[in-house]
DNA sequence: ACTAATGTTGTAGG
DNA sequence: GCCTACAACATTAG
């Protein structure tokens, strides 16, 4: 479910509810989502105070007075303030006021406590809304299709399948184009399109496809503004040609064969 | 019955 | 190191 705009919306709704709160206790169900020992993690979290909620790409880092509680929502994860318990509840954090509940039917998400940020977070590329054009251009010099490069979290962090397709459509760049072969003006168009689509999606509180909701249980609305993602066969908003779907980097990839040569 | 779905990680191979 | 392809993870929706 969650790419950068969705995770940003979760973080923004989470902050006012949990910053300053103290974790009274933590309970974990099942072995899939939690990285590490449930007993040790629960013991480490009990009594910790929440100082901040940060986002690193698609990762949520809850900064405690010692260490971090790091959450990745995978495809179907939800972090809910005072959420109801269900068969897919994998973690319950009881706070000194209210609670935080993690649920995830597909269980591709992960929760981890550490004294420092884990390596897979530290190894991420820069934020796409903070990276400079110069740095972005260097990072794009890879001999893979530009879509695969945008999905690579070591290049920039937070772009996923929806926003990669939407950014390339807006830039008028074919997703199969080898990134390193793009002229500088094309790279600049991709850069601006990526920033534009992410910013607009954040303004719309993300895309609710599948089961995405923020931490208050609210849906986003950017899915109504998707121009190519999941619009296979529908007319292109620019030229009317049918939107095409191919598989690239093992992901469904949607583009206009007319506008994205 | 089959396919595809917002993601990451690990393996094998070029 | 860089790159591709594939599998795995587990569930639901069309």
Find which nucleotide's C1' atom is closest to A155's CA. Answer: C2
Please state whether the predicted TM-score (pTM) of the whole model is above 0.85.
Answer: yes
Let me know the angle formed at the C-alpha of A4 by A33 and A160, rounded to the nearest 5 degrees: 80
Round to a whole number and report the distance in Å from the CA of A72 to the C1' of B7.
9
DSSP per position, A44-65: HHTTPBEEEEEEETTEEEEEES
Whether residue A60 is contained in a domain is answered as yes
Whether residue A48 is contained in a domain is answered as yes
Q: Evaluate whether A40 touches A26 at the Cβ level (below 8 Å).
A: no
Q: Evaluate whether A224 touches A237 at the Cβ level (below 8 Å).
A: no
Last residue of a domain, one of A74, A89, A122: A122
Q: What contacts A18, CB < 8 A, 6 or more positions away?
A: A50, A53, A62, A81, A95, A100
A29 and A80 in a single domain? The answer is yes
A228 and A184 in a single domain? The answer is yes
Whether residue A127 is contained in a domain is answered as no
Per-residue flag: A72 CB under 7 A of strand B = yes
* A209 exposure class (CB count in 10 Å sphere: 0-12, 13-18, 19+): middle
A47 and A87 in a single domain? The answer is yes
Whether residue A260 is contained in a domain is answered as no
DSSP-derived letter for residue A14 is H
A111 and A146 in a single domain? The answer is no
DSSP-derived letter for residue A205 is T
Whether residue A103 is contained in a domain is answered as yes
Give the pLDDT score at A1. 56
pLDDT tens digits, A107-152: 999 999 999 999 899 899 999 999 999 999 999 999 899 999 999 9
Q: What's the CA gap between A157 and A188, in Å, rounded?
A: 18
Whether residue A261 is contained in a domain is answered as no
* Strand C footprint nucleotides (protein C-beta < 7 Å): 2-12
A246 DSSP β-pair partners: A253
Round to a whole number and report the distance in Å from the CA of A17 to the C1' of C7.
40
Going through chain A in order, the beta strands assigned E by DSSP cover: 23-28, 34-35, 50-56, 59-64, 68-72, 78-81, 89-95, 99-103, 110-114, 244-248, 251-255
Last residue of a domain, one of A97, A122, A147: A122
A54 and A80 in a single domain? The answer is yes
CATH code of the domain containing A45: 3.20.190.10
Find which nucleotide's C1' atom is closest to A142's CA. Answer: C2
Residue nearest to nucleotide C11 (CA to C1'): A106
Range of the domain at A251: 133-255
A169 and A114 in a single domain? The answer is no
Domain count, chain A: 2
A106 and A142 in a single domain? The answer is no
Average pLDDT, chain A: 95
Whether residue A128 is contained in a domain is answered as no
A66 and A161 in a single domain? The answer is no
Of residues A125, A151, A237, A136, the one with CA closest to residue A190:
A136
pLDDT tens digits, A195-244: 999 999 999 999 998 889 999 999 999 999 999 999 999 999 999 999 99
A147 half-sphere exposure, CB direction, 13 A CA radius: 25
Give the pLDDT score at A31. 87
Of residues A123, A99, A19, the one with CA closest to residue A62:
A19
Whether residue A18 is contained in a domain is answered as yes
């Amino acid at each position: 479910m969650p790419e950068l705009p969705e995770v940003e919306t979760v973080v923004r709704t989470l902050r006012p509810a949990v910053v300053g709160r103290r974790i009274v206790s933590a309970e974990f169900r099942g072995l899939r989502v939690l990285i590490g020992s449930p007993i040790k993690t629960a013991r480490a979290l009990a009594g910790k105070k929440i100082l901040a909620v940060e986002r690193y790409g698609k990762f949520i880092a809850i900064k405690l007075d010692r260490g971090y509680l790091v959450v990745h929502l995978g495809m179907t994860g939800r972090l809910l303030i005072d959420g109801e318990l269900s068969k897919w509840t994998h973690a319950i954090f009881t706070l000194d006021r209210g609670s935080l509940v993690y649920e995830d039917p597909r269980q591709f998400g992960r929760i981890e406590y550490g004294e420092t940020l884990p390596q897979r977070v530290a190894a991420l590329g820069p934020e796409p809304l903070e990276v400079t054009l110069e740095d972005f251009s260097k990072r794009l010099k890879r001999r893979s299709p530009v879509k695969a490069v945008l999905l690579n979290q070591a290049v920039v962090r937070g772009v996923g399948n929806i926003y990669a397709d939407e950014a390339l459509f807006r830039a008028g760049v074919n997703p199969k184009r080898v990134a390193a072969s793009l002229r500088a003006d094309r790279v600049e168009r991709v850069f601006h399109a990526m920033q534009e689509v992410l910013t607009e999606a954040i303004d719309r509180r993300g895309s609710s496809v599948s089961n995405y909701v923020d931490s208050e249980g609210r849906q986003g609305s950017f899915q109504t503004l998707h121009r190519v993602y999941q619009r296979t066969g529908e007319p292109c908003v620019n030229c009317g040609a049918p939107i095409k779907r191919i598989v690239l980097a093992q992901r469904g990839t949607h583009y206009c064969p007319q506008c994205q040569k």
